[in-house]
Structure 1
């Protein structure tokens, strides 16, 4: 016969109260039951970065700096070559090297300069311009014997460059050339102004004429100085008081004939 008696759980002794689970144990049990949370991408990235070696974080590369320096020097060299050659070459292939890169300047008297007028084909062909000597050997056809500008060869004909009188003005004496830009006095025309007005006008006209004469000479100085065909080679030596010993020249006919009367003011 089956045991019909129900086995009952023994009651805990009175002196041993039933143990209650403390909050600490409950929290522990919850942690054991709760699955571990996945880390966010930001935390993962932080962990990865902190694990990289210091050498891998250093971006410095000495070869990059060397390449930058070499590139800068190359560009600077090309720019300097272009400036010095006057736009002739980026790579120092100068067709006509500046005088300071070839030889020191020469110093000649007028008598010495005269021997470089092109008659001696073994010598270079020189012209003088306001005290400066230019080598125009590349233009021997026009500056040499028989050429249209042979009057400029072997001398300082600065005056002729302004007046256009190649034969009469083969000199560097520029005194009085401003008169070619001054208007002619004409009694009929000048009657439109008073004497006081004319005196003031003449002062302004003289200043304007001197500026025109200066600009006319400066034009040729710049032409030869900046030319790729001709080159500056030296200077003319003179006595300090050479100009005072020279008589003042009169304007040559072509320069004198170019003067005009004053313009009559509009009524």
Structure 2
């Protein structure tokens, strides 16, 4: 151990010298010099070899350009000007757009492979092309809306929440016998806030607490942003008599 010997005797350690048997190669930077062919030197050797190759290609291009200019000076016909093959490629707007396109396509294919969905099972109105196609929306009366409750086979199923009507035909839960069928054909906005699905099938929101009103807003956003349920119009309600009693809660406070 040279460091141990130095600490004991005070002598300077001898510099390390590679054995003569160590393989060596020509130093591409310094003529007539040999360097050890070891892993630490490989990146530098490879880069210098690359630079030499690029320089050779560039010089050949310059020679072709010189010949081309001489032909032009003599009035001879020449082909299109050749681009310098060693000139670095600049990534412009087109290159960036192409990169992002490849990124989106790769992400979609990966999602299809891993989750079975091109959108990684993310469903929203933004991922549905039909959401951006203008549709003719209509104004329903309460009696007309009631005809779209799923009782007629082949007819779409509509529900309304706080005046907005949505097509929920694709939802199995809204089919007859489904757990949410009580919402079909009616504006049951109050039930979304109170949870009284049987007794609060009404749009009357009087007397709801702040928490219950937030619940209604949550479900309004749910339908507005859902990928499968499309808004088809609105419903015209009869005015609520302010003197009429407020619907009683199905779970009155104790």
Aligned pair in 2 of structure 1 residues 100, 246: CA closer, same or farther (>3 Å)? farther
Q: Give the deviation of 1:215 after TM superposition.
A: 1.8
Match of 2:189 among 158, 183, 195: 158
**C-alpha distance after superposition, 1:188-211 (max 9, x if no partner):** xxxxxxxxxxxxxxxxxxxxxx2x
Q: 2:219 aligns to what?
A: 220
State whether structure 2 residue 168 is matched by structure 1 residue 136.
yes
State whether structure 2 residue 234 is matched by structure 1 residue 236.
yes
* Higher RCO, 1 vs 2 (CA within 8 Å, ≥6 residues apart): 1
State whether structure 2 residue 184 is matched by structure 1 residue 174.
no
Mapped to 1, the partners of 2:208 and 2:168 lie a distance apart of 26
Q: Give the deviation of 1:147 after TM superposition.
A: 3.6
**C-alpha distance after superposition, 1:219-241 (max 9, x if no partner):** 3224434445x4132231426xx
State whether structure 2 residue 98 is matched by structure 1 residue 70.
yes
Q: Give the deviation of 1:101 after TM superposition.
A: 3.7
**Equivalent pair of 1:105/1:233 in contact (CA under 8 Å):** no
Aligned pair in 2 of structure 1 residues 98, 59: CA closer, same or farther (>3 Å)? closer
Q: Which has the larger radius of gyration?
A: 1
Mapped to 2, the partners of 1:81 and 1:126 lie a distance apart of 34
What does 1:32-181 correspond to in 2, within 5 Å? 52=59, 53=62, 59-61=87-89, 69-75=97-103, 88-90=117-119, 97-102=128-133, 104-109=135-140, 110-140=142-172, 142-178=173-209
**Equivalent pair of 1:130/1:156 in contact (CA under 8 Å):** yes
Q: Give the deviation of 1:160 after TM superposition.
A: 1.5
Mapped to 1, the partners of 2:132 and 2:234 lie a distance apart of 21
Aligned pair in 2 of structure 1 residues 221, 78: CA closer, same or farther (>3 Å)? farther
SS at match of 2:145: helix
SS at match of 1:173: coil
**C-alpha distance after superposition, 1:155-188 (max 9, x if no partner):** 110011222223332211101122xxxxxxxxxx
Aligned pair in 2 of structure 1 residues 232, 177: CA closer, same or farther (>3 Å)? same
Aligned pair in 2 of structure 1 residues 221, 251: CA closer, same or farther (>3 Å)? same
Mapped to 1, the partners of 2:218 and 2:244 lie a distance apart of 24
**Equivalent pair of 1:81/1:89 in contact (CA under 8 Å):** yes
Mapped to 2, the partners of 1:81 and 1:169 lie a distance apart of 45
Q: 1:202 aligns to what?
A: none
Mapped to 2, the partners of 1:246 and 1:81 lie a distance apart of 56
Which runs of 5 or more residues in structure 2 are unaligned? 1-29, 32-54, 66-82, 111-115
